[in-house]
Amino acid sequence: MSKRIVIALGGNALGNTLPEQAEAVKITAKAIVDLIEDGNQVVVAHGNGPQVGIINNAMSALQREDPSQGDTPLSVCGAMSQAYIGYDLQNALREELLDRGIRNMPVCSIVTQVEVDPKDPAFDHPTKPIGKFMSEEEAMAYTERTGYLVREDAGRGWRRYVASPKPKHIIEAGAIRALSEDGHLVICCGGGGIPVYRTEKNHLKGAAAVIDKDFASELLAEQLNADMLIILTAVEKVAINFRKENEQWLSSMTPEDARRYAEEGQFAPGSMLPKVEAAVKFAESKTGRQALITLLEKARDGIAGKTGTIVQMQEAGVPEREAVGALS
């Protein structure tokens, strides 16, 4: 049965440099078009970690060279990253579609804004490092010049830190839905979307923040009434006791299982934990919805139930062990 699917691409699907990205998206396109060939309606969201860092560093270098340029807001850097990732990704997808004889599916990238709450507690506790590493002296001068928060990053040098608020609303969701339902393959919510908040007279103001792309993809999937959210990562399945002698790979979890494992500290913050939290939120948002966490190249098999970790609510009348699935 065909499904409406939102795919959240991780950084490994895009590479870390411009040449790497141009090659990586070719492989990524093949996996996505596999799902389309199976009859699924697909919307693609993606991260932008390395890319927005490159842009931020480039714009900072420009300002040092020509102070009259002023500082480039992080929201603008995010918009730039959406465009140049979309450029490579949409061309790779279009080429793959045409190579397979699929000629009636236009591909487009949507510069996407995501509303956040300016009173989100995350703004009081910035956790996301961005930009280049600096010496302490450089960092203090940078703070004096810009007013930005900087701190030492794991002994590697000093960096700017920004907030990571939760997404509230995908501003362009209506346009994304309309294009998708009209047969377009849509790329959107790049880097978690451009974080914005509402001011007077309906103005949307960019926030100096980074939205987790898994949470943004989950919200997008809800707003599009998707059947499945696929969160792609660097492992085939979610594990408990990861890299220990008693490591176990999970074929499926209920939200209750996932919360219990999270409370035990089984999932690394900033890595697997947000993926599991996003998967749980989607699975609980409506009866019958599923989230899949797996490798890019295993997405097709994951939809077929052959691999990956499925997160879904337990069906009424189904014994817990049967609903949760085997550990393998």
The set of catalytic residues is 11-12, 128, 213, 275
DSSP alpha helix (H) spans, the chain: 18-37, 49-65, 74-99, 136-146, 173-181, 213-223, 255-263, 272-285, 299-303, 320-324
Q: How many residues are present in the chain? A: 328
- The gap from C-alpha 153 to its chain's centroid, in whole angstroms, comes to 23
- Write the CB contacts of 139 (distance below 8 Å, at least 6 apart in sequence): 150, 158, 159
CA nearest neighbour of 51 among 89, 8, 15, 92 = 15
User: Please, which contacts does 267-275 make with residues 24 or more away whose CB atoms are closer than 8 Å?
Assistant: 267/238, 268/242, 272/233, 272/238, 272/242, 274/212, 274/214, 274/215, 275/214, 275/231, 275/233, 275/238
Q: Rounded to whole angstroms, how far apart are CA atoms 214 and 10?
A: 9
CA distance 251 to 232: 15
Structural element, H or E, at residue 44: strand 41-46
DSSP 313: P
C-alpha to C-alpha distance for 152 and 281, rounded to whole angstroms: 33
* Measured CA angle at 168 (ends 164, 174), to 5 deg: 125
